[in-house]
Amino acid sequence: MARRSRSAAFLLGVLLALGAPAPAAAEEKRHSAKNAAKEGAKTGGRTAKEGVLTFGRSVKGFFTGGPKAAKEAWQAGAAKTKRTAKAGARSTKAAAKGE
């Protein structure tokens, strides 16, 4: 039963975080929340992918060029991950507004 209650609590938290509309809300608002949720999930996936690639590139850099190469690869990857996350945040905000 503990797993079920954790799942319910998680779902409730996600809905509250997304600002889920009340059942009496307009259809347009539900549609915008749905689009925002989809865009948010896509952003999370893309950002996670970039983070994993950054880690892999830094490990490769460490074994091929030493600590300095690993640090450079990490910083370059971190900058790309940040750009990806910010672009995703903009698209999520646009989806929430219904644009």
DSSP 98: T
Total residue count of the chain as it appears in this document: 99
- 5-14, 19-28, 46-55, 73-82, range with the lowest pLDDT: 19-28
- Output the pLDDT for position 93: 86
CA distance 11 to 61: 40
Domain positions in the chain are 25-97
User: Could you report the per-residue pLDDT of 4-35, keeping only the tens digit for each?
Assistant: 555 555 554 555 455 545 454 444 455 678 88
pTM of the model: 0.59
